[in-house]
Amino acid sequence: MRYAAIDIGSNAVRLLIADIIENHGSFSFKKNTLIRVPLRLGDDAFIQHSISDKKAADLVKSMSAFRNLMDVYKVTHYLAYATSAMREATNGEDVVKLIKEQANIDLEIIHGSKEAKVIYASHAEQTIDKSKSYLYIDVGGGSTELSLFSAGELMASKSFNIGTIRILDNQDTEETWDEMKEFIREHTRGYKQLLGIGTGGNINKLHRLAEEGDEAPMAFTKLKSLYTYLNSFSLKDRINVLGLNQDRADVIIPACEIYLTVMKNAGIKQIYVPRVGMVDGIIQTLIDINLS
């Protein structure tokens, strides 16, 4: 069996095609193909509050390509979710209809609370000690999802309109930052030695730059020094000297700022980076729906 996940984010759209593996009645998946297209829908949604005709056309083309790939790979089930940018676009539902008509893909615009649950479904905590307390931190282009769990139980979860594209476009507000800090303080109070789990493309890249090893956590101090180092380069030099992709070189700075703010306010000294994200959670959601 092959399942597919489509994530339409504020910075990029992704398609993950995964092979479903059965082992003694339990199911897992192995990533087969991952495609990422940096459409930057957030630039339209957060400033103009609608998706432009050009971006909508590019999105439809991408979805048509994804549809063709799913057909070629003989995908049996898929889910397509759109997050922050499409949530805020006044013409989001019109774009959903266009995608259905022209690409034959059923797309759902999901709320922040559901987004947090899908990310949590990726089971990133399975690779580490379940007896401890962790704060999931998923930073996207338009929103940041925080989920606190202790001893394997989800204790609190919330989505905030703070994201890398939103910050670059000066569309984040001080009130939202304060709201996020208050949520962190309220829900992490009383947890000693709270650890972080970071998901999303930026933290994956930062972890690779830190050269800590795949399963080793990254220290707050290391992330802070990386931020200072990256920030000392111009955008052009982050691309030409450091070799960062053009669509990563700008967003990585506000991503650092979000992770550092969350970790500081939660008293987190180390963050694990299991390299899973929204698409992994969607595949797991499909497994839970169809095979559990």
Kindly report, residue by residue over 220-262, the tens digit of the pLDDT: 999 999 999 999 999 999 999 999 999 999 999 999 999 999 9
Distances (CA, A) of 94 to 27, 40, 43, 105: 36, 18, 18, 14
Kindly report, residue by residue over 101-114, the tens digit of the pLDDT: 999 999 999 998 88
Give the torsion sign (CA, 238, 275, 104, 86): negative
pLDDT reported for residue 229: 97
CA distance linking residue 170 with residue 163, whole number of Å: 10
pLDDT reported for residue 212: 80
Kindly report, residue by residue over 1-20, the tens digit of the pLDDT: 999 999 999 999 999 999 99
CA distance linking residue 9 with residue 186, whole number of Å: 29
pLDDT-based confidence at 127, cuts 50/70/90?
A: low
CA distance linking residue 166 with residue 250, whole number of Å: 12
Burial of residue 152 (number of CB atoms within 10 Å: 0-12, 13-18, 19+)? exposed
Burial of residue 284 (number of CB atoms within 10 Å: 0-12, 13-18, 19+)? buried
pLDDT-based confidence at 129, cuts 50/70/90?
A: confident
Fold agreement between 2-112+278-291 and 125-272:
yes
Residue 48 carries which side chain, given as an amino acid letter? Q
CATH 3.30.420.40 for domain 2-112+278-291: yes
pLDDT-based confidence at 27, cuts 50/70/90?
A: very high
Distances (CA, A) of 152 to 25, 128, 175, 239: 22, 11, 31, 40
Mean pLDDT of 42-63: 97
CA angle centred on 105, ends 4 and 94, rounded to 5°: 135
Closest-CA residue to 91 (of 79, 109, 114): 109
Kindly report, residue by residue over 199-215, the tens digit of the pLDDT: 989 999 999 999 888 78
Average pLDDT of the chain is: 94
Return the H-helix or E-strand segment holding 108. strand 107-109
Domain 125-272 belongs to what topology?
Answer: Nucleotidyltransferase; domain 5 (3.30.420)
**Is the distance from CB of 81 to CB of 282 less than 8 angstroms?**
yes
Closest-CA residue to 255 (of 217, 209, 202): 202
pLDDT reported for residue 123: 64
pLDDT reported for residue 124: 61
Q: How far is CA 139 from the centre of its chain?
A: 6
**Is the distance from CB of 40 to CB of 23 less than 8 angstroms?**
no
Kindly report, residue by residue over 132-177, the tens digit of the pLDDT: 899 999 999 999 999 998 887 889 999 999 999 999 999 999 999 9
Share of the chain above pLDDT 90, in %: 84
**Is the distance from CB of 146 to CB of 135 less than 8 angstroms?**
yes
3-state secondary structure of 184: helix
Distances (CA, A) of 171 to 98, 191, 287: 27, 32, 36
Strands 77-82 and 107-109, by their bridges, are parallel
pLDDT-based confidence at 276, cuts 50/70/90?
A: confident
pLDDT reported for residue 106: 98
pLDDT at 126 over 70: no
Mean pLDDT of 277-286: 93
Beta bridge partners of 14: 7, 36
pLDDT reported for residue 113: 85
pLDDT at 190 over 90: no
Residue ranges of domains in the chain: 2-112+278-291, 125-272
Share of the chain above pLDDT 70, in %: 98
pLDDT at 271 over 90: yes
pLDDT reported for residue 153: 83
pLDDT reported for residue 240: 97
Higher-confidence position of 32 and 214: 32
